[in-house]
A and B are shown apart, each in its own frame.
Chain A
Amino acid sequence: MYTRIYKLMFPKEASDQPIIYRLVKQYDVQVNILRGEITPQHEGNLILEFKGEADKVRAGLAFLKEQKIGVELFATKVSRDEEQCFQCGACTGACPVGALHIRRTDMAVLFDPEKCTGCGHCVRICPVKAMNVSFDQLARVAS
């Protein structure tokens, strides 16, 4: 399984096309919308999480390119403000993948960015706003 976050930029002309529908239907890519906006010029930007088999996602990306949709590979970067975090552990109950977890020997709350999927649950749960999410552009996708 392949999970990546992309930003799709829809030109004005593409805004009435069932692009996402076809992506799901024909390419079997699961999408999860993380953020969406429409610019005053009627262009649409979507930040999506793609899940699927690597070659299907690749084919889906090629399809998007054909449709003249701009695609950028994104990383949701979740980081922890170590000064702000007071090691309470509340976030460990919300993290679905164990990226935030407790080292039982000393009850330290550890954050493993490698495991983090960027779901953002911890951002909402942390009482001192120590967890932050940002979408960072990694690369413009050339297919």
Chain B
Amino acid sequence: MSEFTVNKTYAEINARIKSGEAVVVTAEEMVDVVKKEGPVGAAKKIDVVTTGTFSIMCSSGAFFNFGQTTPTIKAAKVWVNKVPAYAGLAAIDIYLGATEPTEDDPLNKVYPGEFGYGGGHVIEDLVAGKKVFLEAKAYPTDCYANTKCKKELTLADMKHALLCNPRNGYQNYNCAVNLSEKTVYTYMGMLKPNCRNANYCSAGELSPLLNDPLYRTIGMGTRIFLGGGIGYVTWQGTQHNPQALRGKNGVPKRPAGTMMVQGDLKQMSAKWLKGVSIRGYGTSMAVGIGVPIPILNEEMAQFTGVSDEEIFTQVVDYGHDYTNGIQRNYGEVSYAQLKSGEIEVAGKKVATAPLSSVVKAREIAELLKKSIMEKQFFLSEPVDQFPTVDFSFDNSNK
């Protein structure tokens, strides 16, 4: 017998989506549903909770097959709009990473550098339908005689274009401050000296992995909203760390799980994939991701009912500690506190600013909800699970 009162299968939920009966709410709306109905009541009522996040996500990029030339070429070095791509895969397959700057970028020589254009911008330009300039160099072989090629092409001209992000959707992230005496420019933004501002980067209660903290439903093969198209979770992301410190609700209080995601770039849109320039740090890409979570039982209802008040993160010093690999924090704060605009660090009030868009995260969750209700999007059952840890609400409440 099952340990749960409510038990639904993916097939049952999909059948309800198909018949137009499925009840779908966003992760924000679910907070109130669980408060009012309790986990069992909520699980009976709700079939799917949609989540979303839209933020700068390093460890993103795309594979392209740019088509052969005559004579044929085995490209060894490739640049797209002067941004180097990795070509050591085959003849005309390349991987273009989001954080790769243009080859002649002055970087941080004039500090803090501007990093005006990079791999993320190339990907955005391509999905926006713009032409890009590709240059390749090669050594000749008997089967691939060409030694160089230059061509202009659009995304439609690419034989194959796959967004493939080895680490996205970090489940929780540090709140960054700077306790040093000088301004620092980090991937967490500009941090003023002596702890005068704090930046954080998570959609909180809307964020996918914070709503499925133990990876019960998000796993290999989960169908998701990715960059405006449909994508899949294909593996746990790099640096995935289920062992991170967790609260009684199972939600990690430190950077923990991550997802590797993939999808056909040709379906995606520049609205949900944006090249970014982070002053003093480099280029990257903002990626929009939405994950539907099936409410299989009351445990999933309780997980998805989590609110910003119940999600905590640590305050980390990026002026000195982070760069020097010092594992130390300056206390914990909840996302409700972070979103209020002010937190307290070592007895001092500090203004907060987000780097992750709540407005767009909500828009993604709403879009996903709409496509499920319109029977355009069905849930997929993972074929395998991410590495996780043991957890149950019963044990944690004892």
Contacts and interface: CB of A to CB of B under 8 A. Distances in A.
B359 A107 contact: yes
B359 A93 contact: no
B270 to A, nearest CB: 10
B276 A93 contact: no
B274 A86 contact: yes
A88 B55 contact: yes
Interface residues of B, number: 29
Interface string A79-93: 000000011111111
B362 to A, nearest CB: 8
A136 to B, nearest CB: 24
A109 B54 CA distance: 14
B286 A93 contact: no
Contact of B339 (A86, A88, A93, A107): A107
A128 B340 CA distance: 25
Contacts of A91: 353
A86 B340 contact: no
Interface string B353-364: 111111110100
A86 B190 contact: no
Interface string B332-355: 000000011100000000011111
Contacts of A124: 279
Interface in B91-105: none
B360 A86 contact: yes
Contacts of A94: 190, 353
Q: Which of A90, A125, A128 is most buried by chain B, counting CB atoms within 10 A of its CB?
A: A90
Given A93-B190, A107-B354, A127 B359 contact: no
A88 B357 contact: yes
Contacts of A125: 189-190, 279
Interface residues of A, number: 20
Given A93-B199, A127-B56, A128-B274, A88 B340 contact: no
A102 B338 CA distance: 12
A108 interface: yes
B184 interface: no
A128 B115 CA distance: 11
A87 B357 contact: yes
Contacts of B197: 93
Contacts of A35: none
Interface string A90-120: 1111100000001010111100000000000
Contacts of A89: 353-355, 357-358
Interface in B22-73: 54-56
Given A109-B359, A127-B56, A90 B353 contact: yes
Contacts of B279: 124-125
B330 to A, nearest CB: 18
Contacts of B357: 86-89
Contacts of B199: 90, 93
Interface in B354-389: 354-360, 362
B222 interface: no
B341 A102 contact: yes
A86 B354 contact: no
Interface in B233-286: 274-279, 284, 286
A90 B189 CA distance: 7
B356 A88 contact: yes
A42 interface: no
A143 to B, nearest CB: 40
Contacts of B351: 93
Contacts of A127: 56, 276-278, 284, 286
A141 to B, nearest CB: 34
Given A93-B199, A93-B353, A125-B279, A104 B339 contact: yes
Nearest to A92: B353
Interface in B130-151: none
Given A125-B279, A129-B277, A104 B340 contact: yes
A91 B339 CA distance: 15
Nearest to B351: A93
Interface in A23-46: none
A128 B353 contact: no
16 contacts: A86-B54, A87-B357, A87-B358, A88-B354, A88-B355, A90-B353, A90-B355, A93-B189, A102-B354, A106-B359, A125-B190, A127-B277, A127-B278, A127-B286, A128-B276, A129-B277
Interface of A: 86-94, 102, 104, 106-109, 124-125, 127-129
Given A89-B353, A90-B199, A102-B341, 6 more contacts: A89-B357, A94-B353, A104-B341, A107-B358, A107-B359, A125-B279
Q: Closest 9 A-B residue pairs measured CB to CB? A: A93-B353, A107-B358, A127-B276, A89-B354, A87-B359, A87-B357, A88-B357, A93-B197, A92-B353
Interface of B: 54-56, 189-190, 197, 199, 274-279, 284, 286, 339-341, 351-360, 362
